[in-house]
Structure 1
Amino acid sequence: MSSHPDPSPPPQPTPTQTTTKAYTYTRLGPYRSTLLLTPSHPLAPFPHEPTFRMSFTAREDRTNRSFLALLASMIGCLVASFPRSARLHLKAQQHGMHMYPKAITLIDRCRTVALEARGPLFYSRDEITVYDAATSYFLGLAAAYTVQWKMCRRFTAESMAFIRELCYHKPRDMGSSMFGVTYRGPSFNHVEDQLGKRIFWCMFVGLRSMYQLGTHQSDIVLPPPTPSEPYPEFPVEVDDQYILPHQILGQPEGVVSLLTGFNQGIKIYMTMNGLVSVELSYGISTLAFHDQKAMLDEALQAVKQMMDGLPRELTIDLNAGPGNTQSHALANLLPAQQPPSIYDDNSGLPFCSLPYQSMQAPQQSANDFRHAPSSHPERRRLLQYEIQKANIYASQLATRSYNVERYLNLRDAHREHARPHPPQPSQPPFQNGDADNKTLPADQTDPIDAIMTSERELIVQHLLTVLMSISQRSMEPNGASLINKIRQVASTLVNDAPERKGPVAVKAQESLSKFVEILMRLERIPPGGGGGEGGGQVVGQGEDEEVELRSWADLREHQVRFLQGGGFMGYT
């Protein structure tokens, strides 16, 4: 399978080859080779890699409309996650930049191809497959990364509807016990069963993440599990090559599955279920102050405990001394002999597209493991761990910060309500106020308040440690989601009232402010500069790439300067 497009157009289809016509019309050839990495994406581990590779090699995109739709949606999502890699790849093709002058052009084209491949009668089909749900999920994710929120909600809701129709939103043995019937559907297939679970949990994580950021998707409601409506089991922590249609083999001893890190992200957001349940039922504000703060404290302790027992491959030592954390981070950020390329953080794991790789020195080309997975599986796996690690710690920090900030807002509102006010002329002095005033000294010595205050200082320290420990290579596959989470936590710490900030937060104000400014620039640059319903920054052709490259360079430079200045240890 060649990675370069054939200079001549594909052969014209016969009247019966409708999907061949669809492929001819797509002209996606210049970017097909990059799909080698997509099916094993550590944050969205579907479709099933061995099955996908067989279909991909057999060119089922010429004969199978569903596979063509899935393929197009995957390319679009991949380009939305790695827009600069897409630009380099297309620039190396003879007509690449003419066909797709900007990344957003290719993303829009992929969506059009996927919908045309589905055909006008798609929604009248009796049977929907798990691959249709995956296609809708990728279309929704690409829309989210390109700031097209209406389309994101539309495709995400569609994917959830397909998952519910296929009954992957609950345990497999859940059925209509009233009538003595259990839903089985077609003959059981372990591959499809695991894919259905993975898609459901991907949407769960996305919806809970948006809930934290204040983007409550009222049209996509996912209530917490109950005894009568439980969630499905977590995906089995076994890599794709050991999952067969008729059985699931064991994961080799000593090899951490990619599903271990995937499930860890799920467990972090599962700690929100208590709060979400109350909010969906009657609202947390209806509870007494004592019950509200107890619930938030319980949620905070739960998310912190979720990090216990993580395998070494997925662990960042948040409490390591400056001699360990900072020296390791500097080794990854500082150039050894020459400045690294924008796709290489000097860790020996270059991340570049195939045409770009061919222009590098032979020793660099030999290290590119993306396009030779059988030759360098351990290096490829290491990159996947790093991507998952960045997502795990950003998610945990965002969840901790969400709980702490909710508590502090609640506490301040309670204190304001309890503070004595000048009596109204028609009221006796401090009517109903004495009882409330008695809570003020208690609040100031409240152990929960002390825990939350100290936790905020820890969040500042841990945020700076995480920012120093994850490279651009690990940030980009997480897409806008990771940047948004980190920016949200940092912005909250920077923009908060001065009386809430502890010594570390005050001293780290300047560094955090700089990180926020850079991350906001990155967050507002959609792939190719395309705008959307969310009001993304729109810049001219070519200018968007320059702005993005400068922003990434600024982030890297600030990381290095911060570490050379002693890191967060200089603030304690």
Structure 2
Amino acid sequence: MSASPPPSPSQQHANAHAYASNGLEILQAASDAAQAIHNPQALQNAAAAASEALPPATEMPPATELPHHLMAGPGGVMRDPTINPKLTRLRRACDMCSMRKVKCDDSNIPCRPCRELGVDCTYERETKRRGPPNKHAEAAKAAKRARLDVGPGPGPPPPPPPPPAMSLSGLSASPSPQNAAKTLMNISSVSSDGILDAETIAPMPVLELLVDDFFTYVHPLAPFPHEPTFRQSFANRQDRSEPEFLGLLASMMAALVASFPRSAREYLKSQHGTRLFPKAIVLIEKCCDIALLTRGSKWVLKQPKTLDDAATSYFLGLASGYTHQWNASRHFMAETLTLVRELGFSRPKHPGDLPTFGNDPFSPDPLPFSHAKDQIGKRIFWCLLLGVRSFSQLGASYTDLVIAPSTPSLPYPSYPENVDDICVLANEIIHQAEGSVTLLTGFRFGIDIYTTMNGVVSLELAYGMSTLPWADQRLLLRDGLLAAKSIIDNLPPELQLGDHGDETNSLASLDESGLQYVPPAWPDTQPAHDLRNVIKAQPLRRRQLQYEIQKANIFVSQLATRSYFVELYFNLRDVQLNDEQHGNPVQGPSEEEKALEDADDKEILDLMSDERELIVQNLLTVLGSISQRNLEPNGGSLINKIRQVASTLLNDAPERKGPFAAKAEEALSQLIDVLMKLQRTGPAGESRAADPSHMTAEDEEEELRHWEDLRNYQLRFAANGGFAGDM
């Protein structure tokens, strides 16, 4: 048998072509597909290039003319560095760098030049092969375009692409380059559809502004997550690698836009038009969907769950409540309570200890105890308790949202430390100077206000108020009212109503300077009159603005709590009088005891009657002292509290109303009318709750007019000395 002659140059060419095809399309995809799924953009680019650049075997270009994004790996196998990042050859430049003819830094997506310009980093331009066009490829493209133009015919929709595992098995069974390229395309389509990141919500420049807004406007009232930790994770783009973080980010954006719709509305209008995003609720629902998608179908079985999970549930509940989805809100709040209990609230280590949240045996952190986690856990617990107490004041009773009173065997956690986030480290807490007014100062005063209800709540949960003699009921209510009133006396000057120094006066001048809340204007720069420009350049202004937001919440919450005690007193007194008229007591008190009881009853009755008059005056004073700029963020919660107080005062029986309350009826009626209009046109206005997509530009203008009506109401109050001229 004669020896085989050496291969001719053409045979060598064919062998190299076959080897390169198998190596690129089969071996590379099989070994790197799992890793490539985490980089859908790069995989799509590689797959598209592979399907378009590979001609039939008879027309394979020389190796020197292969597309420049393919390179030879070990053993001569052609590799694409976008599939395996361990290889060092650069991929093709992005669209913007290609147009500008500049070097594309591909270490991250978006690349550095695109990040500096603030533009999208895309790879959508068509990849062109060298040499004359291939007639077979051009014919296939023309046929594909014709099919797309005609569109799918009647009948069932096409089946979804196979999952990655099926794609890989199909790749192994089919060695042809064309089938391998098609399989890569299938994998890339599954990855792009199934993997989410922060830019699924909005472009990063917009998200950066919205994150700033969250920590400016929402964080003062719900002081979690830990701001330095969150911002570091956000800068490191952990949304790409940790679904839990992406879910937290999405829930925070939902809560921000639900509580302060104007923060994102103009961005939605400018970027997408009113047809796709006609109302802020559309973005809210999108964020909620993303947060739930990051959890997956088996989230309930996830172990261990974390404080980020609890914070995500809380913000989802907050967003649902602001958009009038009460069942969903109750579900998420109950879920938050369950997570808080699971993470430490119900597990004091030793008898007599208070619950803590810093022990996490599953954490990769080598520290045995994390002060940052402990503080965030306490903040979530107390914020949840304040929400439950506020619900009860509004007349809502949820059996799945019951926080039992603190007992020696199951105590509440201690208050969170009165320090700013920057002073809370994992291994220690840096205590600030005595008398410092931190962002937690106002939050702790809010806790003080709602814990004055502890006595009433404990009795209601245990036996009910009716099991207590009337003499004890009225004393309990009197003590709670006096405690709630005294809290305001202890506020630092920064949280008091009225002028307290130059800082407050300089902030008040913002209203007159033309500065406004301006939503993200990306890709344009923020206008000069954007309030963000001031508070970013002057951190003290930002802190003062946060004081003003906390101040509004503190005074409105205190009014709502005082009103709660007064109304509960009068309701229980009516029950007592009715029982005395129609009941048959077995043995009445002696004459001496009855005289003492009557004296006590008259004293407390006079106190409660005078308090009702004060509440009317204080309500109007508070409204006249808080600008719309500080009332509109978190306005949904404050509007509910104000409306509840005003409605209670207005709808009382005539015999209960004092002189001032009777004269203020018209002012209260006007206030309730404005607040009702705001509720109907809020994030999910009742008038369009069934189909929120029908909000038009006129509807939006109407909402802004209602805010303006409230502001005019406040100005008229201030100008008329508390409407004294009309009374």
TM-score, normalised to structure 1, is 0.84
Instruction: Encode CA deviations 1:444-463: one digit per residue, 9 max, x unaligned.
Output: 97111111111111111111
Instruction: Encode CA deviations 1:455-512: one digit per residue, 9 max, x unaligned.
Output: 1111111111101111222122223111100110011111111111111111111111
Instruction: Encode CA deviations 1:254-293: one digit per residue, 9 max, x unaligned.
Output: 6411001011111111111110110011100122111111
Structure 1, unmatched stretches of 5+, are 318-323, 337-343, 422-429
User: Are 2:220 and 1:42 aligned?
Assistant: yes
Measured after TM superposition, the shift of residue 431 of structure 1 is: 9.9
Contact 1:525 1:538 in 2 (8 A): no
Contact 1:526 1:537 in 2 (8 A): no
Letter matched to residue 324 of structure 2:
V
Aligned match of 1:140 in 317, 338, 363? 317
CA 1:571 to 1:237, structure 2 compared with 1: closer, same or farther past 3 Å? farther
Aligned match of 2:577 in 412, 415, 420? 415
Instruction: Encode CA deviations 1:129-185: one digit per residue, 9 max, x unaligned.
Output: 111111111111000000001110111111111111111x25x8x22559xx99943
CA 1:75 to 1:296, structure 2 compared with 1: closer, same or farther past 3 Å? same
- Give 1:248-397 correspondences, 5 Å limit: 248-252=429-433, 255-316=436-497, 345-346=511-512, 350-355=516-521, 362=528, 364-365=529-530, 368-370=533-535, 372=536, 375-397=537-559
CA 1:433 to 1:9, structure 2 compared with 1: closer, same or farther past 3 Å? farther
Measured after TM superposition, the shift of residue 531 of structure 1 is: 7.5
- Give 1:29-178 correspondences, 5 Å limit: 29=203, 31-32=206-207, 33-39=209-215, 41-93=219-271, 95=272, 97=274, 99-167=276-344, 169=345, 174-175=348-349
**Aligned twin of 1:552:** 707
Measured after TM superposition, the shift of residue 4 of structure 1 is: 6.1
CA 1:164 to 1:415, structure 2 compared with 1: closer, same or farther past 3 Å? same
Contact 2:507 2:545 in 1 (8 A): no
Instruction: Encode CA deviations 1:338-390: one digit per residue, 9 max, x unaligned.
Output: xxxxxx7337763322329978864x2487335x2xx2111110110000000
What SS does the aligned partner of 1:465 have?
A: helix
Contact 1:197 1:235 in 2 (8 A): yes
**Aligned twin of 2:716:** 561
Q: What is the root-mean-square deviation in Å for CA atoms of aligned residues? A: 3.7
Letter matched to residue 294 of structure 1:
L
Structure 1 Cα separation of the partners of residues 567 and 691 of structure 2: 27
Q: State which drifts further: 184-193 or 59-68.
A: 184-193
Instruction: Encode CA deviations 1:400-433: one digit per residue, 9 max, x unaligned.
Output: 0000011112223323343489xxxxxxxx9989
Structure 1 Cα separation of the partners of residues 333 and 553 of structure 2: 20
User: Are 2:374 and 1:185 aligned?
Assistant: no
- Give 1:210-225 correspondences, 5 Å limit: 210-225=391-406
Number of aligned positions between the proteins: 536
**Aligned twin of 2:5:** none
What SS does the aligned partner of 2:223 have?
A: coil
Structure 1 Cα separation of the partners of residues 386 and 619 of structure 2: 21
CA 1:331 to 1:15, structure 2 compared with 1: closer, same or farther past 3 Å? closer
Structure 1 Cα separation of the partners of residues 234 and 645 of structure 2: 41
Q: State which drifts further: 297-306 or 539-548.
A: 539-548
Letter matched to residue 43 of structure 1:
L
Structure 1 Cα separation of the partners of residues 549 and 523 of structure 2: 21
What SS does the aligned partner of 2:297 have?
A: coil
Q: State which drifts further: 237-246 or 407-416.
A: 407-416
Measured after TM superposition, the shift of residue 61 of structure 1 is: 1.2
Aligned match of 2:653 in 497, 504, 509? 497
Contact 1:530 1:536 in 2 (8 A): no
Contact 1:104 1:529 in 2 (8 A): no
Structure 1 Cα separation of the partners of residues 117 and 409 of structure 2: 51
Aligned match of 1:527 in 662, 683, 689? 683
User: Are 2:361 and 1:247 aligned?
Assistant: no
Contact 1:147 1:526 in 2 (8 A): no
Instruction: Encode CA deviations 1:303-344: one digit per residue, 9 max, x unaligned.
Output: 112223211111125xxxxxx89xx999999xx9xxxxxxx7
Structure 2 Cα separation of the partners of residues 513 and 392 of structure 1: 24
TM-score, normalised to structure 2, is 0.67
What SS does the aligned partner of 2:677 have?
A: helix
Structure 2 Cα separation of the partners of residues 159 and 9 of structure 1: 41
Measured after TM superposition, the shift of residue 39 of structure 1 is: 3.7
Aligned match of 1:22 in 158, 183, 196? 196
What SS does the aligned partner of 2:197 have?
A: helix
What SS does the aligned partner of 2:196 have?
A: helix
Structure 1 Cα separation of the partners of residues 653 and 123 of structure 2: 62
CA 1:330 to 1:246, structure 2 compared with 1: closer, same or farther past 3 Å? closer
CA 1:175 to 1:567, structure 2 compared with 1: closer, same or farther past 3 Å? same
Contact 1:42 1:388 in 2 (8 A): yes
Contact 2:317 2:328 in 1 (8 A): yes
Aligned match of 1:453 in 609, 634, 645? 609
Greater relative contact order, per chain length (Cα 8 Å cut-off, separation 6+)? 1
Measured after TM superposition, the shift of residue 563 of structure 1 is: 1.8
Structure 2 Cα separation of the partners of residues 175 and 3 of structure 1: 53
Contact 1:83 1:528 in 2 (8 A): no
Structure 1 Cα separation of the partners of residues 655 and 575 of structure 2: 14
Measured after TM superposition, the shift of residue 532 of structure 1 is: 9.5
User: Are 2:657 and 1:479 aligned?
Assistant: no
CA 1:434 to 1:285, structure 2 compared with 1: closer, same or farther past 3 Å? closer
CA 1:305 to 1:18, structure 2 compared with 1: closer, same or farther past 3 Å? farther
What SS does the aligned partner of 1:166 have?
A: helix
Measured after TM superposition, the shift of residue 538 of structure 1 is: 9.4
* Rg comparison, structure with higher value: 2
Structure 1 Cα separation of the partners of residues 551 and 383 of structure 2: 16
What SS does the aligned partner of 1:397 have?
A: helix
Percent identity for Structure 1 against Structure 2: 48
What SS does the aligned partner of 1:22 have?
A: coil
Measured after TM superposition, the shift of residue 98 of structure 1 is: 5.0
